[in-house]
Amino acid sequence: MNILNLIRWKNLIMIIAIQLLLKYALFHPFGIDITLNAFGFGLLVLATICIAAAGYIINDIYDLEADTINKPDKVIINKNISEKSAFNWFIGLNIIGVGIGFYLSNLVGRSGFTILFIGISILLYLYASSLKHMLIIKNIIVALLISLCIIIVGLFELLPAITRINQETQLTIFKIVLDYALFAFVINLIREIVKDIQDMDGDQKVGLKTLAVTFGKKRAKHVGFALLILFIVGVSYYVITFLYKQQTAVGYFLLFVIAPLIYASIKLFTADSLKEIEHVSSILKLAMIFGMLSLLLYPFILK
């Protein structure tokens, strides 16, 4: 159980669920030309979660000092699992993830896709070891890596299957994938800023340059609030522009995505305690989950 907690098994399940939703709720119902069979897609999911799990491990190794201050009860390394053992898990999972990525890239005839897996693996290490010390860069990288878990499905499933006949349909579906990737990027960027406010004390002691540490909790809250308002406006515009004819979809987004985001913005603006900040982070995560679950609506939206 300790190793499962170390690799953030709940987050990995969410990644698996999102990728499955893309394939079976968006691609399959419309008979979209895809590249991977069930086995190949399973390998893609496995490669993704192996590299993501490795990223969580190396981040915990480098975050050990800060985590001891911010969340001492959740520290696993050197309590339940040795640092050496954790590093071996990091190496092993990366080898598996990149190895599968290399195989799949050649399988779909796009050997250049291998660089994605290698690049993400290297970026996760650089993030944990050095990039997280750079103001706002750390937040952008985390959000980008999460969005890549979505984009990679479109790259492997849709692009290699494009022909002159199906080009328009394939690109339309790929644009929807990119829309969801952008949604995931922005909401996780905001959530990372909120989490930095929550972890300010430990981050300050280990010398991390987060918005909260550099400008103070109040200004960091204002930045997060401003981004959240812009995000709400953006999501609302998207719903009004592209889904206005689908009352079910509009109702879903209003109730399960936009309403929680408005609530989170109000709570963030008025939050005084760490418990309230943590609550905002949880609401943002919930809004992201409901946003991804909206993929189940597309058989009705695009019929």
For the record, the structure tokens of 149 come out as 């878990």
The answer to whether 232 and 262 have CB atoms below 8 angstroms apart is: yes
Residues 6+ apart with CB under 8 A from 176: 26, 298
The answer to whether 266 and 211 have CB atoms below 8 angstroms apart is: no
Res 248: pLDDT: 87
Classify residue 134 by its DSSP letter: S
The answer to whether 265 and 249 have CB atoms below 8 angstroms apart is: no
Res 226: pLDDT: 96
Rounded Cα gap, residues 5 and 86, in angstroms: 12
Amino acid in position 2 = N
Task: Write out the chain's pLDDT in tens, 303 residues.
Answer: 778 888 989 999 999 999 999 999 999 888 889 999 999 999 999 999 999 999 999 988 888 877 787 777 778 888 888 889 999 999 999 999 999 999 999 999 999 999 999 999 999 999 888 887 788 888 999 899 999 999 999 999 999 999 888 899 899 999 999 999 999 999 999 999 999 998 887 778 777 788 888 888 899 999 999 999 999 999 999 999 988 778 888 999 999 999 999 999 999 999 888 899 999 999 999 999 999 999 998 877 665
Residues 6+ apart with CB under 8 A from 148: 116, 120, 181
Backbone torsions φ then ψ of 207, nearest 5 degrees: 85, 20
Rounded Cα gap, residues 186 and 171, in angstroms: 22
Domain count across the chain: 1
Rounded Cα gap, residues 39 and 154, in angstroms: 17
Domain hosting 187: range is 2-301
For the record, the structure tokens of 89 come out as 């898990």
Res 300: pLDDT: 73
Q: How many CA atoms lie within 13 A of 48 on its CB side?
A: 26
- Under DSSP, is residue 4 helix (H, G, I), strand (E, B) or coil? helix
How big is the chain, counted in residues? Answer: 303
